[in-house]
Amino acid sequence: MKNNDSVRQQLQAEYDREEELVHTLLQRGADLEKVTNEKKSNAKERNRLKQRYTSLHKRRLWAFTWLERKVLSVMRASKERLQSFLLRTDHKALLDENKRLSEESAQLEKEIASLRQQLRTEKKQASSTIVDWQNLDQEQLENSLQKIKEDGHMLDYLQDLIMKRNIHDKNYRSALKYSALLYGNDQVAAKHKIYQTLLDGLKIEEVPEVLIRSKSDQKDDTVPLQKIASFSASLTLQAGIRQLEAFRPEWELDDKTMAYTFIDELGVRRPWVAEEQFSYTTIPKKEGIVIKPVYGAGSRGVYIVFAFNRIQDVKRSRILNSWDAFQASMQEDITSGRVLDDQWLAEELLYENNETQTPARDIKFYCFYGKVGLILEIRRYPKVEYCWWTADGERVHTGKYEGKLFEGDGVSPEQVDLAASISSEIPAPFIRIDFLKTEEGLVFGEFAAKPGNYDEFDQHTDRRLGNEFLEAQGRLLTDLLKRKSFGHFKASLEDAGRGKPLNV
């Protein structure tokens, strides 16, 4: 252990020394540039003095012609006085009046333009409250936006806000890009230090080509781009691809019937599920079941029926005391849009502890084609609480659910391997695999191609999962080129009657 500490101290000392050397290099580069600029400035001053001397020399000729120019000036002045004398008094008065009216007209036009601008400004302010982003907390911000919506001015407000942001972002990107260009020809260590700092302030779509450009094929000449990876951006792009191309393997598994067909193909345990689907009015009146929407995410529309007088609304963490209240809540889910379709499944209720009838915990594995990147443990009773884990069993913070965390029990290495193995059978770079943790072990729950609120991870987690996504894409492409068959997945498509093309 002492040896490890000693090695870490030595590595840290080396890193600190490297940082110091890079900063020294940057400072010396700045000093050199300063001297170079001073030389350029001195050269410009010499040229200016030379031009001044030439100009003064030419002025001697100007002085020699003074008498001739003076005579011409007197002649022009005499001519103007004669013309003025010949003008009639009434003509002069008419010209003066015309001038006065023109000036008054111009002044009135200015006042009208000013009033119009003032009216436009007041109208805009009336229809779009200016939000002081830096001084508002989340509640104040939400209240301000709610007021704008109630006034019916949200569209005008958003257009104005987006325009201002675009202008700000354009100037911001220009400044950062020019900063990169200034160091394009500096030594590699200094250039990379500047580039790495710039990457902290850029989103993936904002990175200028100059930061990626390499003058050679040497690895040392390229800037590491791990900082710009984004899990949120990757999933958003996947959603865009899905809109362009309807068939996406991971989204096929979002359908619970297809998901169970696939899991049965792999021989993984899952709950008993009623064969037919129901509307909210035809749900079988039975205790010890879980009711879920056929299409849903984020526990919206999920109910645990312990007894007819004790039904848990999982999403809203409340207990319903009657079957009528349960059906009314389901109807509200549909009318509010929390659940898209009036199609429901009934499945077996599993317990973490059969004796106390404690509901099974959720274990959600964030899987990246054969590798687990993150694990979420959820305890839903008596209240919903969360615990995040790495695949190595380390508790971590991710920026999500910070006010609702608890110390969970975690999972075993064998359970991590199970999730990773399932994900390796799916031709997709990412999918979340959800299980229920029971006394008998993990029982499959569902797949999620797009976890709810995936954009709420902190920057560190979003970046780390983003790199996992990119690495998974690389592994998947390699396996596809090696003609991996994904036989279980294709067989499940056929068994479920989906008949989608999967040319691998």
Band of residue 181 on the pLDDT scale cut at 50, 70, 90? confident
Domain carrying residue 182: 138-228
Mean pLDDT of the chain: 82
CATH number, domain at 428? Answer: 3.30.470.20
Q: Are 504 and 483 in contact (CB under 8 A)?
A: yes
In a domain, 369, yes or no: yes
C-alpha span between 239 and 444 (Å, rounded): 25
Q: In what side-by-side order are the strands of the sheet with 318-320?
A: 318-320, 310-313, 303-307, 289-293, 344-348
Same domain (yes/no): 49, 114? no
Predicted confidence (pLDDT) at residue 186 exceeds the cutoff of 80? no
Name the CA radius of gyration of the chain, rounded. Answer: 37
* Amino acid 502: pLDDT: 47
Closest residue by Cα to residue 404 from 317, 296, 282? 317
Predicted confidence (pLDDT) at residue 377 exceeds the cutoff of 90? yes
Residue predicted with more confidence, 191 or 411: 411
Q: In total, how many domains does the chain have?
A: 5
Same domain (yes/no): 370, 498? yes
Predicted confidence (pLDDT) at residue 128 exceeds the cutoff of 50? no
- Per-residue pLDDT of 299-309, as tens digits, reads 789 999 999 99
Predicted confidence (pLDDT) at residue 80 exceeds the cutoff of 70? no
In a domain, 290, yes or no: yes
In a domain, 65, yes or no: yes
In a domain, 133, yes or no: no
In a domain, 217, yes or no: yes
Residue predicted with more confidence, 56 or 466: 466
Band of residue 169 on the pLDDT scale cut at 50, 70, 90? confident
Residue predicted with more confidence, 479 or 340: 479
Same domain (yes/no): 309, 434? no
Same domain (yes/no): 166, 44? no
Band of residue 127 on the pLDDT scale cut at 50, 70, 90? very low
Predicted confidence (pLDDT) at residue 187 exceeds the cutoff of 90? no
Residue predicted with more confidence, 448 or 117: 448
* Amino acid 290: pLDDT: 92
What DSSP letter does each residue of 17-37 carry, written as one string?
A: HHHHHHHHHHHHHHHHHHHHH
Query: b/e string for 221-250 if b means 16 or more Cβ within 10 A?
Result: ebbebebbbbbbbbbeebeeeeeeeeebbb
Rounded average pLDDT over 166-184: 77
pTM: 0.66
In a domain, 76, yes or no: no
Predicted confidence (pLDDT) at residue 82 exceeds the cutoff of 60? no
Same domain (yes/no): 189, 205? yes
Same domain (yes/no): 337, 379? no
Q: Which amino acid appears at position 247 of this protein? A: F
C-alpha span between 303 and 293 (Å, rounded): 10
Predicted confidence (pLDDT) at residue 134 exceeds the cutoff of 50? yes
Same domain (yes/no): 411, 490? yes
Q: Percent of the chain, pLDDT > 70? A: 80
In a domain, 78, yes or no: no
Q: Is the peptide bond before 224 cis (omega within 30 degrees of 0)?
A: no
Same domain (yes/no): 382, 463? yes
In a domain, 91, yes or no: yes
Same domain (yes/no): 247, 345? no
- Give the residue carrying structure tokens 């023109």: 102
Of 228, 255, 284, the position where a domain reaches its end is: 228
Same domain (yes/no): 239, 384? yes
* Amino acid 78: pLDDT: 64
Closest residue by Cα to residue 235 from 69, 453, 38? 453
Same domain (yes/no): 195, 241? no
Residue predicted with more confidence, 167 or 99: 167
* Amino acid 486: pLDDT: 95
Of 317, 349, 381, the position where a domain reaches its end is: 349
φ and ψ at residue 442, rounded to 5 degrees: -80, 135
Rounded average pLDDT over 310-318: 89
CATH number, domain at 297? Answer: 3.30.1490
Same domain (yes/no): 12, 154? no
- Per-residue pLDDT of 211-262, as tens digits, reads 777 655 555 667 778 888 899 999 998 988 888 877 789 999 988 889 999 9
Predicted confidence (pLDDT) at residue 182 exceeds the cutoff of 90? no
Query: b/e string for 254-288 if b means 16 or more Cβ within 10 A?
Result: bbbebbbbbbebeebebbebbeebbebeebeeeee
- Per-residue pLDDT of 455-483, as tens digits, reads 999 999 999 999 999 999 999 999 999 99
Band of residue 504 on the pLDDT scale cut at 50, 70, 90? very low
- Per-residue pLDDT of 350-376, as tens digits, reads 988 888 888 899 999 999 999 999 999
